[in-house]
Amino acid sequence: MKNQFYPFIQELQNTITTAFESLDTKVRFEEDVWKRPEGGGGHTRVIEQGDVIEKGGINISAVHGTLPESMQVQFNVTNADFYACGLSLVIHPKNPMAPTVHANWRFFELYTPKGEVVDQWFGGGLDLTPYYIFEEDIRHFHQVCKKVCDDHHPEYYARFKKQCDTYFYNSHRKEARGVGGLFFDYLRENKEFTLQSRYDFVTHVANSFLTAYLPILLRTKDLPFTSKQREWQEIRRGRYVEFNLVHDKGTLFGLKTNGRIESILMSLPPKVQWRYNHQPIEKSEEARLLTVLKNPKDWIH
């Protein structure tokens, strides 16, 4: 399966890179090929200071080796080796009317010391983090997610949408990071699903990413905005940073497995503010965003 999934994310990285470069003619993605001393490596592609994208990254990696003790406790295994590959992307547009987007699709295997596979699973998803609420854009994003899910199982969208709302949640702020999307993990082979069917679902979700996000970016990237709205974007980006550094399992896994720090922290936006006890004006568009983030919505119905 890993020999099937890794070439898929290699091709997907190229497809998504080309799509975003066609929008931002000022700059191009720079690629950094790196190797992990313990085993494996990756291709990090970063774009910065563009007319449309202020900072973005589309990374793939395939790493392997001995699972750290802290992760062995988490997975309830001993003396285990692992293999993990995946694609992770974050796009932070320059215009505060355009939402940040994040996506990740990954495959994981655990082995005995003799190299026998003892566990395999897929994980990933995609989620949207707006700074201003445009309901038609959020509905479009969720409709694309639901259509893909419905092609594979009638309960997938409701289940993975809820998991996304639960996972991307800043519990210390009592608010969601964004307006959700899909999040799934530990998609294993079982009595109902083969590992190939899990692969088919995850790759279908991954291939739907540009359909879900690009129309939103095209509609919002050139909208007028004020310095105050830009300031609000930077304050809200601070919440994004807080989630990634405090709660995100992918970040923590990368740090615990001696991952490449530049690639792990690629997701952080370039310009961020933390204001002491900042509160938006009552009934403003900024306040409307906070109301939505404190109460996850059904965006389809």
Domains of the chain (ranges plus CATH)?
A: 2-294 (3.40.1500.10)
- The verdict on pTM exceeding 0.85 is yes
Helix axes 209-220, 195-207, angle to 10 degrees: 20
Q: How many beta carbons lie within 10 A of that of residue 292, not counting itself?
A: 18
Which active-site residues does the annotation give?
102
Q: How do strand 117-129 and strand 30-35 relate by DSSP bridges?
A: unpaired
Q: Which residues pair with 128 in a beta bridge?
A: 101, 180
Largest CA distance in the chain: 62
For residue 230, the number of C-alpha atoms closer than 13 Å in the C-beta half-sphere is 9
How many whole angstroms from its chain centre is CA 3? 23
Per-residue pLDDT 10s for the chain (301 aa) are 999 999 999 999 999 999 999 998 889 999 999 998 889 999 999 999 999 999 999 999 999 988 877 777 777 777 788 999 999 999 999 999 999 999 999 999 998 888 889 899 999 999 999 999 999 999 999 999 999 999 999 999 999 999 999 999 999 999 999 999 999 999 999 999 999 999 999 999 999 999 999 999 999 999 999 999 999 999 999 999 999 999 988 888 778 777 778 888 888 999 999 999 999 999 999 999 999 999 889 999 8
- Write phi, then psi, for 120 (nearest 5 degrees): -150, 140
